[in-house]
Structure 1
Amino acid sequence: MEIFRLFAVLHCITLCGAALSASPISVTNLRVGVDVRFPINYHSDGQYEVTFKRKSPVGLKVLAWNSENPETPYRIHPQYIQRVRFYRDGFVEIQDVQFDDEGVYEIQTDYLGDQLRVNDQDLFELRVFEPVSQPMVVITGNCNLNCSASSGTDVTCRWKRQSADGIGDDTFYGAVLPLGNMSELQSHTYRCIAENPVSVEMSGPLTMEMCDGDGDRGPRNRWIFFLVPAFSLVILVSAIVLGIKRKARIRSSKLNGEGLIRTC
């Protein structure tokens, strides 16, 4: 499942490198800044008129043209005049999609004959996202793993745990994963995965060296409890020895001075 998920996102990224085609049968998720095309559905060799509308959150007519003169649309909304394009081979394109472009759009085709009739209407829903950045991991408390991404919209986080032998991967949902001690890090590798509908990013693997700070961190911190008192004891013993040696030198100097006086 993980491979299929990553493949789907990479496939979207490849398409988004050019222009993504919106579908009238599903929600279209877009990265901010890409171009999106809306296919025109018409079933007539006669004269017809096409209107490209935005239905929500604000209703307005974006573009309209007649099949007799498709090169020159007779209506372009000022908000889109620099970014909307009509192509005779059957689609409308909005360039450089922004967050404000999110919403529901409609392409309406009116067939012009003896009687005007509305025959085709296709609705398209766009959702626009900022891609997620590579997740950052902060370790707090008693080895609690906290995952976050500095950028991205509608970001969700999950944890991937892999055993040392590569068998038995597990997934934990949520940004915070409490381990409690380092025993889990000794036998497993953890990675945070941050994702949204248009992107997936993964942190580097977590090792024992990363799980330090306040709280009980396992064997490494237990060594510290022994090393600090031992180091203090060495310093105290060294000071006592140096003091004894200093007193001995002073006593020896006094004795030598008295001997010289008696000799004289």
Structure 2
Amino acid sequence: MAKCSVRSRHSAAMVKITSFVSAFHLFTVCGAVTLATPNTTTQVTVGEQVLFLVNIQGGDSYDVRFHSKTPPTIIAVWTINNTVHPKSTHPLYEGRVQWNESGSVVLYNVQVNDSRKYKLEINHQSTELKNDDEESFELLVFEPVSQPAVKIIDDCTTPNITLSCSIFKGTNVTFQWRKESLSGAIDGAFNGTQLVIDRDNEEEQHVYRCIAENPVSNAKSDPVRPKPCHGNNYVLFWIILLGLIPVLVWVCRSIISTKAGRATQEHSEQPDAWSNGLIEPTYTTLLNPRRTSEKRASKVL
């Protein structure tokens, strides 16, 4: 059987807890239950139940109206006349809101979008002159944070190491880094989702943790220890790069020199087609093969 409990985040509400617990036989609320007192801000976790308390002056007949103030919306209306008579419930709250005759509205399974200001009105219907009761509340609902995951961004080509922290769920989350010795002592704290470490000042006897927290929860990552780059690879990278610059210059000059030599050679091999501005004429003698053969035959005869 699920364990049911009632708690209050405000000491002023503890005085009323006993009277409200006695009326819990009217309904079953299992899980964490938080008592919200008027004119205060109550912070709760997703999935909890919240009791909105109001001081009823007396009387057997009255109407109860539960409002959302931002935006203005009537969530539910009940008529109380010895028994509870529900009159209307907003479709978005169907099955999640209930009136307790001891003087409270119960909101079940609260979600992040339930964070807002509320108003609870009691309108008396008896013949006696009674002042209507009205109380205001503010509710803030938070999703608990998940365990942070840390990614080490380091390719040994720069003098810095970057640690990046992330979570997959949680609302209104802040991040903090802790630098710890191997004995667990805290040697430094830093804010933000990323932490940049100077490689030259990094000491191997330290580890880092990311802390994620919001008003209702907190979680920390597993410890991470950046691995050193053996032989200062990032320095070696720059040495190799600087050593390649003269080679690249020599290759470029060789290519340019080779192209220039070919162009000069091609220019010198071209014939001088012009002489004194005139083209030298060329004569061609064509022989008739038939006449030549006839002359050879007559000489033989």
TM-score, normalised to structure 2's length? 0.58
- Is 1:195 the counterpart of 2:213 in the alignment? yes
Of 73, 98, 103, the residue aligned with 2:116 is 103
Percent identity of equivalent pairs: 36
1:147: how far off? 1.0
User: In the alignment, which residue of structure 2 is the partner of 1:229?
Assistant: none
User: In the alignment, which residue of structure 1 is the partner of 2:173?
Assistant: 155
Number of matched pairs:
204
How well do the aligned residues superpose, as a CA RMSD in angstroms?
Answer: 3.0
Of 72, 75, 89, the residue aligned with 1:76 is 89
User: In the alignment, which residue of structure 1 is the partner of 2:32?
Assistant: 18
Q: Deviations over 1:164-218 (max 9, x none)?
A: 45445432111111111175342322210011222211001112xxx24xxxx45
- Is 1:33 the counterpart of 2:47 in the alignment? yes
Q: Deviations over 1:77-102 (max 9, x none)?
A: 23322211122233211222233322
- Is 1:172 the counterpart of 2:190 in the alignment? yes
List alignment gaps of at least 5 residues for structure 2: 1-8, 10-29, 155-159, 237-301
> Does the CA-based 8 Å contact 1:109-1:118 persist in structure 2?
no
Specify whether residues 115 and 69 from structure 1 end up closer, same or farther in structure 2 by C-alpha distance, changes over 3 A only: closer
Q: 1: CA distance between counterparts of 2:90 and 2:234?
A: 70
1:54-133 residue pairs with structure 2 within 5 A? Answer: 54-57=68-71, 59-114=72-127, 118-133=131-146
- Which amino acid is 1:26 matched to? T
1:136: how far off? 1.0
Larger RCO: 1 or 2 (CA < 8 Å, sep 6+): 1
SS in 2 for 1:71: strand
- Which amino acid is 1:110 matched to? N
- Which amino acid is 2:163 matched to? L
> Does the CA-based 8 Å contact 2:60-2:81 persist in structure 1?
no
Q: 1: CA distance between counterparts of 2:84 and 2:128?
A: 25
Structure showing greater radius of gyration is 2
SS in 1 for 2:204: helix
1:204-215 residue pairs with structure 2 within 5 A? Answer: 204-207=222-225, 211-212=226-227
List alignment gaps of at least 5 residues for structure 1: 1-8, 10-15, 227-264
Of 190, 193, 204, the residue aligned with 1:186 is 204
Structure having the higher helix fraction is 1
Specify whether residues 221 and 154 from structure 1 end up closer, same or farther in structure 2 by C-alpha distance, changes over 3 A only: farther
Q: 1: CA distance between counterparts of 2:150 and 2:62?
A: 57
SS in 2 for 1:186: coil
Q: 1: CA distance between counterparts of 2:184 and 2:114?
A: 45
Q: Deviations over 1:80-139 (max 9, x none)?
A: 222111222332112222333221111112234447654432111122222221111112
